[in-house]
Amino acid sequence: MSEHNHYFGNDEENEPEIWDEHRWEEFFKESDKRTNKYVRLLEKYMDHPDRDRIIAEEMGWTHLMDGGDDKNGKWIDEYITDEVEDGEDWKRLTGYEPTDYDSFENLPLYQQAFEFTIDAMNMVDDRLADSDDESVSAFARSVIVPPAKIAGGFGLGFEMDSLGGNIANCKRGLNAANRALEALYEIGEKELLDIETYLEFYGRAKEVRDELAIYIVELRERFRRGIL
């Protein structure tokens, strides 16, 4: 069986279907669409007296529109639960089991990515705050994403029913790491940074990107072993 198959059936009728990274990516894209629609509606109806009902209706959350005051605002709860949570309840519900690290904060890859993000944002504030170049904005937008996606993937867990989502999350982080590298390269080409600072941060950005790519390969191998 190819590891790139999108769906993995099960001979047991009551066993849940295992989603691979591609199926999870489809799910996340649909979630992004719902999130973007919600944000547009919230901006449009922020001050409307009947905001909750209108947004619930537009989002198709009609089951939340009845039941009195105790239902008021629960469309917000449904929106929030579309996002990855890091709490123990979320880990329990998704079949999370401890790995060698009891939390994403202790995962060396996360620590490396997070420390680089903090240093990179401080560098932007100190040395590029006066620049309105798009490459600086692109770098700042992208560099914050990898640690968040690593943490989100860890929160989903390492069991077969959620490992594909872990991989898909990390791939989003890898895409952002590549965008950050591309933006940093443009910053260097435009000589917006001195050469020493540029080389230091480009080297660290590449290390984060490469380590994340290796991590994804390891997660894929774990998934492959699980479906054989």
Per-residue confidence (pLDDT) for residue 196, from 0 to 100: 97
Is 74 inside a domain boundary? Answer: yes
The answer as to whether 103 is a domain residue is: yes
Give the model's pLDDT for residue 103: 85
Rg (CA), the chain: 21
Residues 117 and 200 occupy one common structural domain: yes
Residue 23: inside a domain, yes or no?
yes
What sign has the CA pseudo-torsion 24, 26, 31, 32?
positive
* In a domain? residue 5: no
Q: Are residues 52 and 95 in the same domain?
A: no
Residue 108 CA to residue 154 CA, distance in Å, equals 12
What is the pLDDT, as a whole number, of residue 57? 82
Please answer whether residues 58 and 52 qualify as being in contact, where contact means their C-beta atoms are separated by less than 8 angstroms. no
- C-beta separation of 52 from 38 below 8 A: no
User: Residues 103, 150: one domain?
Assistant: yes
Q: Per the domain annotation, does 40 fall within a domain?
A: yes
Q: How far apart are CA 158 and CA 17, in angstroms?
A: 16
pLDDT at 49: 84
Q: Number of structural domains, the chain?
A: 2
pLDDT score of 26: 87
Distance of alpha carbon 128 from alpha carbon 183, whole angstroms: 13
Report long-range pairs for 12-20 (Cβ below 8 Å, ≥24 apart): 16/161, 18/160, 18/161, 18/164, 18/227, 19/161, 19/164, 19/165, 20/164, 20/167, 20/223
pLDDT at residue 98 in the model = 36
Residue 68, in any domain of the structure: yes
The reply to whether 103 and 157 lie within a common domain is yes
Are residues 69 and 98 located together in one domain of the fold? no
- Per-10-residue mean pLDDT for the chain, 228 residues long? 42 68 86 71 77 76 51 42 43 44 88 94 95 95 91 89 92 95 97 97 97 94 83
The pLDDT assigned to 93 comes to: 43
* Placement of tokens 């629960």 in the chain: 74
Q: Which structural domain range is residue 193 located in?
A: 88-227
**pTM for the complete prediction?**
0.68
Do 98 and 185 reside in the same domain of the chain? yes
Q: Is residue 186 part of a domain?
A: yes
The predicted structure's pLDDT at residue 94: 37
CATH at 102 = 1.20.1440.60
Count Cβ neighbours within 10 Å for each residue of 118-130 and write b for 16 or more, e otherwise: eebeebbeeebee
pLDDT of residue 88: 45
Q: How would you class 212 by CB atoms within 10 Å of its CB: exposed for 0-12, middle for 13-18, buried for 19 or more? A: buried
Does the residue 10 lie in any domain? no
